[in-house]
Copies of this chain bind each other. A is one copy, B any other.
Amino acid sequence: MTSKTLSSPTHRSRNGWVPPNFYNDLDATLAKAWGLLDLGVTDRRSPFHTPTIATIRGDGAPSVRTVVLRAVDPDRRTLRFHTDRRSNKVRELVVDPRVALHFYDPAEKIQLRVDGRATLHVEDAAAAEAWDGTRPFSRLCYGVSPNPGVEITDPRMAAQETSGDRDAGRENFAAVSVDIACLEWLYLAAHGHRRARFTWEGQNPTAAWRVP
């Protein structure tokens, strides 16, 4: 390393674009992906805070909706979200636990696609810990009646819990953890997109570039 410029991990292209450190580096790509997921948990303004999750309906058709990312564990390769155990997505997950999550950050120009299997937690220690971590305002929706998704003639018929009991709605609360089997990365860049796929069997990922 005789020159600071030459030893820089990035290089400046002719028109001044500096590729990010992960541009041609699978390890750095995976690290960036976990970093964005982590930010999605802690920063409510991050687009990764509200991924879309797809499940399979009873008739085999796909179904999608937003969830809020509540936890990510890179070592165990899990993520977590919360939902109402009376919801349609819980009914679907119980029949077929295969899910796909979609994250997209338009400013970063990064899309993550996560394939995994969901596990429902309703009365175990994981559910209790997740419930303890929720804010009072977030708990209100679990007290809604009638059940979520039920047809009503007047929208004002959906009543939220107002008893003031901090544990009202607890019986309807579910934490869903997802074991990540595959993570597919897409980075959009005018100089050439980058697509990579990370799959796990055991602890170490198989990582490969793909044609974007």
Contact = CB atoms under 8 A, between A and B. Distances in A.
A152 interface: yes
A158 B160 CA distance: 53
Task: Report, as a range, how many residues of chain A touch the other chain.
Answer: 35 or more
A101 B102 CA distance: 12
Copies of this chain present: 2
A42 interface: no
Contact of A209 (B55, B63, B113, B152): B152
A107 B23 CA distance: 31
Given A192-B155, A192-B158, A66 B102 contact: yes
B61 A208 contact: no
A83 interface: no
A56 B66 contact: no
Top 6 A-B residue pairs of the complex, sorted by shortest distance between their CB atoms: A54-B62, A54-B54, A64-B102, A61-B98, A62-B100, A155-B209
A24 interface: yes
A104 interface: yes
A106 interface: yes
A3 interface: no
Nearest to A25: B155
A52 interface: yes
Contacts of A141: 193, 212
